[in-house]
Amino acid sequence: MKSSRLPSSANDSTLIDPSLTLIRIGEVMSIVGLARPTIYKLMNEPESEFPKTVKLTNSSARGAPVAWVLSEVQAWARGRIEARDEVAA
């Protein structure tokens, strides 16, 4: 009987696609170095271009679970670094 387990290489973190990886608020806070209220404030300021959330359930209740796309959060952080470098130049 064949095992349905994925080969160990399939669990390798190098195979994770950041454009398909959803992360929760704790990871977002770690990546961008901002507190939860600041992140949500930036999301409501279109000029900040902070990534929007992805709903994880169909619930529309306040506090329903959401996540962010890893590549979008990383791109936003890169943009902040580039903006710093442009100001410094």
pLDDT tens, N- to C-terminus, the chain (89 residues): 444 444 454 555 568 899 999 999 999 999 999 999 999 999 999 999 999 999 999 999 999 999 999 999 999 999 999 999 886 65
Which of 49, 14, 20 is closest to 39 using CA atoms? 49
Give the pair of three-digit tokens for residue 13: 């973190």
Q: Where are the beta strands (DSSP E) in 1-89?
A: 22-23, 54-55, 66-69
Q: How many CB atoms lie within 10 A of CB 43?
A: 15
Q: Is residue 4 part of a domain?
A: no
Task: Supply the CATH number for residue 46's domain.
Answer: 1.10.1660
Helix/strand/coil for 66: strand
Q: Is residue 39 part of a domain?
A: yes
The total number of structural domains that make up the chain? 1
Q: Is residue 2 part of a domain?
A: no
Domain that holds residue 62: 20-88
Q: Is residue 12 part of a domain?
A: no
